Structure 1
Amino acid sequence: MITHFETPLLESRALSRRCMKTISLKMEAWQPTGSFKNRGMGYACSIYRERGAERFISSSGGNAGLAVAYAGRKLGVPVVVVVPKTTPERARRLIAREDAEVIVHGDSWNEADAFARSLVHENDAFIHPFDDELLWMGHASMIDEIARSASQPDAIILSVGGGGLLCGVIEGLRRNDWHNVPVIAAETVGADSYAQALKANRVVNLPAISSIATSLGARAVSSAALRAATQHPVESAVVSDAAAVAGCLELLEEHRVVVEPACGASVAALDADLPALQRARNVIVIVCGGVNASVEQLHAWSRTLAVA
């Protein structure tokens, strides 16, 4: 059963001219549910069903839950998704449209996650939104696709919430023998648990998420994401909410795609003053997508944040 599609790798002439590099976009926003999550969630759900799971339970800020709901519908397995109160009504509606049961619980993903785990019984499979090796194996398929269609890039930029995408991309780089391709990990101020973990050399729990990029809202990254930085070159880029929204609007204007600030952060990271980017001539940006925003919301944020 296919739960994700191969996505194109597009050269962005607008970003390439602005950055004076070749910038290519891996268009994960064009997955069936609007984000890269289709890959890992679909793969994990398929494996858990083969192992006998009769129901999927997940916690999510929006995108992961939507991907699990989609996979469950395709696989014929019922799904329960627990989301925090911060998850936009639009995301809740989209999850429910995939025939999943949506439960709203807690003020943060951490609280929603704890409640979701309490619902798991025998014959259920808990689908973690980012911390599961099966997810990483699924996400790694995007690098397999890039390796089949393009030469080795000088750097890859991606957004980090809990670290599932990062772990998956690094797994994909490893299995394609692209061990020296640096990964630029983009976050927003107020959701920068990975940057703080790298600095402290340990997992850091943020007291709260103060960024509008709620999809980056894991207060602590997985230990696997932190460990990955000791096994592969990783550099951190932390951008403002305003810069992330500007990145979203740039994608909207130049490529007619709507993404959320969690994804716009990766576009904003192109302007980061990092050694890996200074050396790079050929850069791939993972356009991870996301459904927690609309054109109207992006423009509202732009006005509120005084985006240039």
Structure 2
Amino acid sequence: MSLWMKTPLIESVPLGLPIGKKIRLKLENVQPAGSFKIRGIGALCAYEANRGAKGFTCATTGSAGYALAWAGRALGLPAVVCAPDTMPPESIRPIQLAGQTVELAGNTWYDADERATALAQELGYTHISTNEHPVLWNGISTIIDELAAEGEKPDTILCSVGSGGLISGLCEGLLRNGWDDVRIVGCGTYGADAYNLAVEAGKIINKETTTSIIPCISALHVIDHVMDFRSSVHLRSFITTDLSAVSACERFLDDHRMLVDPSCGVALAPVYENAPILRESENIVVVVCGGVGITVERLERMKALAVERERRA
């Protein structure tokens, strides 16, 4: 049983025409669980269920938790999602509506993951990694399989990067389909730039803290697997401001009538900015990764915070 669906690939005239490039959108935001996360987490949950899992736990700052809740519900298994105290109610509510449990633990994702790991042992559940497992990466890689089945190879793919689960799966898909010449641009913000630091340094850099207002991409470091592709895939990076990511979401809502999280907006921002990194690109696919817990009201709050931070800078 597949817990995710093949998603549409559409050309975007509003994004492409102003910059004279062909822009196509891989709409992971229309997944039943609201984001690409269900591909990897769904695959891993199904794998563990077949091995006798009695339930699941995971840590989340948003979309991963809903993906786990959705997968558990579809598989008929309970799930406990651990999240930082700062997770907004807009992100908690969908998990509870799926009939699963949310436990708040600590100030960061890392605190929540520590609790999720301990809770799995206490309850006899299976702890699900939301970014680091071969089955998870393979599930995510099906995005590239679907692109390849369309028959038109892009020269550049844009995606958001936090800890690196998405870009790792995409890289695996590129290699499997013989698309190793496609540039893949991982996008973040100045306050959530663990991937950018790793690409520039050629090794993983451990940050002491993050300053972005966008929790889903605020990782202290990328996973090891990201660096496995340094010599086999054309890894590139792009960073922008939090405000630019939020503004990209607003413009995307106007252009395509779809509301996505700013963690997705970072991958749209290079197109809206006509960023120099796209100068040599003519055929671009943006992985519109989606996001759960975003509302117009929350986006407005995030914009106000981003504007205030830039004013103080």
TM-score band, normalised by shorter chain: over 0.9
Corresponding residue for 2:74?
A: 74
Q: Which shows bigger deviation, 120-129 or 70-79?
A: 120-129
Corresponding residue for 2:20?
A: 20
Counterparts of 1:73-112 in structure 2, within 5 Å, are 73-112=73-112
Q: How many angstroms does 1:226 deviate by?
A: 2.3
Look up the equivalent residue of 1:148 and give its one-letter code. Answer: A
Q: Deviations over 1:86-141 (max 9, x none)?
A: 22111111111111111101111011111111122285321111111111100111
Partners of 1:299 and 1:19 lie apart in 2 by 27
Corresponding residue for 2:48?
A: 48
Q: Does 1:147 align with 2:148?
A: yes
Partners of 2:65 and 2:305 lie apart in 1 by 29
State whether residues 248 and 266 of structure 2, in contact with CA within 8 Å, keep that contact through their aligned partners in structure 1. yes
Q: Which shows bigger deviation, 219-228 or 162-171?
A: 219-228
Partners of 1:202 and 1:279 lie apart in 2 by 26
State whether residues 29 and 288 of structure 2, in contact with CA within 8 Å, keep that contact through their aligned partners in structure 1. yes
Partners of 2:124 and 2:115 lie apart in 1 by 18
Corresponding residue for 1:116?
A: 116
Instruction: Give structure 2 stretches of 5+ with no counterpart.
Output: none
Q: Which shows bigger deviation, 36-45 or 92-101?
A: 92-101
State whether residues 131 and 162 of structure 1, in contact with CA within 8 Å, keep that contact through their aligned partners in structure 2. no
State whether residues 42 and 68 of structure 1, in contact with CA within 8 Å, keep that contact through their aligned partners in structure 2. yes
Corresponding residue for 2:246?
A: 245
Look up the equivalent residue of 1:49 and give its one-letter code. Answer: A
State whether residues 199 and 235 of structure 2, in contact with CA within 8 Å, keep that contact through their aligned partners in structure 1. no
Corresponding residue for 1:209?
A: 210
Aligned-partner SS, 1:157? strand
Q: How many angstroms does 1:230 deviate by?
A: 3.2
Partners of 1:64 and 1:42 lie apart in 2 by 10
Aligned-partner SS, 2:57? strand
Q: How many angstroms does 1:82 deviate by?
A: 0.5
Corresponding residue for 2:6?
A: 6
Look up the equivalent residue of 1:42 and give its one-letter code. Answer: G
Q: How many angstroms does 1:303 deviate by?
A: 4.2
Counterparts of 1:151-300 in structure 2, within 5 Å, are 151-270=152-271, 271-274=274-277, 277-300=278-301
Q: Deviations over 1:139-182 (max 9, x none)?
A: 11111111112411010000001101001111111111111101
State whether residues 162 and 222 of structure 2, in contact with CA within 8 Å, keep that contact through their aligned partners in structure 1. yes
State whether residues 109 and 217 of structure 1, in contact with CA within 8 Å, keep that contact through their aligned partners in structure 2. no
State whether residues 52 and 123 of structure 1, in contact with CA within 8 Å, keep that contact through their aligned partners in structure 2. no
Q: Deviations over 1:27-66 (max 9, x none)?
A: 0000112110111111110011111111111111111111
Instruction: Give structure 1 stretches of 5+ with no counterpart.
Output: none
Q: Over aligned residues, Cα RMSD in angstroms?
A: 1.5
Corresponding residue for 1:36?
A: 36
Q: How many angstroms does 1:297 deviate by?
A: 2.1
Q: How many angstroms does 1:299 deviate by?
A: 2.8
Percent of aligned positions that are identical: 37
Look up the equivalent residue of 1:193 and give its one-letter code. Answer: A
Look up the equivalent residue of 2:48 and give its one-letter code. Answer: Y
State whether residues 245 and 301 of structure 1, in contact with CA within 8 Å, keep that contact through their aligned partners in structure 2. yes
Partners of 2:176 and 2:201 lie apart in 1 by 29
TM-score between the two structures when normalised by the length of structure 2: 0.93
Partners of 1:199 and 1:173 lie apart in 2 by 22
Look up the equivalent residue of 1:83 and give its one-letter code. Answer: A
Look up the equivalent residue of 1:58 and give its one-letter code. Answer: C
Partners of 2:88 and 2:62 lie apart in 1 by 8
